[in-house]
Amino acid sequence: MRIDYHRTLIADRVRNQAFHDALKAVIIPGVTIVADIGAGTGLLGLMASKLGAKAVYLFETAEVAGVAGRILKANKARNCHLIPCHSTQMLDPTPVDLVVSETLGNYAFEENIIDTLADARARFLKPGGVMIPASVAQFVAPVVTGRIHRELTAWDDVGFGLDLSIGKAMSLNNAYVRVLTAKELLGPGIVWDRCDFGKDTKAARRGEANWKVSAPVTVYGFAAWWDAALGGGITLSTAPAAPRTHWEQLYFPLLEPIALSAGESVGVALRSRSSEEAGTHLAWTATHTDATGKQRARQALDLDKGYLP
């Protein structure tokens, strides 16, 4: 186990404050029973304890559970109960008033939070109970600077008369964790997917977005991020313009940049599926449409094509 990953989580003050504020808004001291799913070092469970929760059940299946146990003991958190298993494996769980789970990735659903919270809602949560987060909205926007594209197409610049296009194609059929700025994007972003943890159970997600331009511009790829509604009007965002967190944006490349003229449109359709057994699969298709509505080009990319055989 590498503890340094968990250091990046507890060092994320934006994340920590948002979850603390969301917990504070709903915990009734001496009354609220909490389940912290994917507890890590126990930070959120300890917050709930300090805020007066009657009892906190922390679920953690990774090796860090051993660290969490020692941290809970050091903080004399006698109302905290560490359960070293995945919440979905727990038989006859204690009914709780509040489920909190910070199992969000750079791609929001890569840690299978949809399946986890669907199970928790069905088996853990009392009627009228609260889940944090309540929902996640996923955004996408075209990237109009070539900074990352040039990095990924270094295969073209090796020289020596060599054709490395196979490696280049594999590089471009990948999603990358990168920091982007609002100035590198065509607009503020469009919601391509919204997941309500109070009712959604489908780990397979799909959606699309389109942009019509009023001036010539070149699109090199797409940036994606998410906003998580934690309740009480509190939102945690990984958007380029939002306060920085340990999360970053995702960059979806194009095989070839798309040069748009005024009046033309670019669109993207995104698909994903995530599971504990098969991991996360992502695919994206970009289209270039002229001012008359005729499709000029289409590029289909898939993360599965980016893996070595």
User: Where does 136-306 sit in CATH, by number?
Assistant: 2.70.160.11
Contact 97, 32 (CB under 8 A): yes
Average pLDDT, the chain: 96
Q: Which amino acid is at 298?
A: R
Q: What is the pLDDT confidence band of residue 2, given thresholds at 50, 70 and 90?
A: confident
What is the phi/psi pair of residue 271, to 5°?
Answer: -135, 145
DSSP character for 287?
E
pLDDT in tens, 183-221: 999 999 999 999 999 898 999 999 999 999 999 999 999
Q: Which ranges of 138-205 would DSSP assign to H, the alpha helix?
A: 147-152, 165-172
Place of tokens 């003991």: 73
d(C-alpha 270, C-alpha 250), whole Å: 12
Q: For residue 219, what pLDDT is reported?
A: 98
pLDDT in tens, 75-113: 999 999 999 999 999 999 999 999 999 999 999 999 999
* 59 pLDDT more than 90: yes
d(C-alpha 203, C-alpha 271), whole Å: 11
* 1 pLDDT more than 90: no
Tokens (6 digits) for 282: 């992502």
* 309 pLDDT more than 90: no
d(C-alpha 99, C-alpha 83), whole Å: 15
Q: For residue 299, what pLDDT is reported?
A: 98
* 291 pLDDT more than 90: yes
Tell whether pTM > 0.85.
yes
Sequence ranges of the domains in the chain: 3-102, 136-306
Centre a 10 Å sphere on the Cβ of residue 295 and count the other Cβ atoms it contains: 11
Cross-strand pairs, 272: 205, 282
d(C-alpha 229, C-alpha 246), whole Å: 18
Contact 157, 149 (CB under 8 A): no
3-102 belongs to CATH 3.40.50.300: no
Average pLDDT in the 13-37 region? 98
Contact 6, 41 (CB under 8 A): yes
Q: What is the pLDDT confidence band of residue 277, given thresholds at 50, 70 and 90?
A: confident
* 289 pLDDT more than 80: yes
Percent of the chain with pLDDT over 90: 95
Q: For residue 278, what pLDDT is reported?
A: 86
SS3 186: coil
* 8 pLDDT more than 80: yes
pLDDT in tens, 229-274: 999 999 999 999 999 999 999 999 999 999 999 999 999 999 999 9
Q: Which candidate, 164, 60, 163, 67, places its Cα nearest to that of 103?
A: 60
Contact 102, 72 (CB under 8 A): no
Q: For residue 250, what pLDDT is reported?
A: 98
Q: For residue 230, what pLDDT is reported?
A: 98
Average pLDDT in the 148-171 region? 96
Contact 83, 90 (CB under 8 A): yes
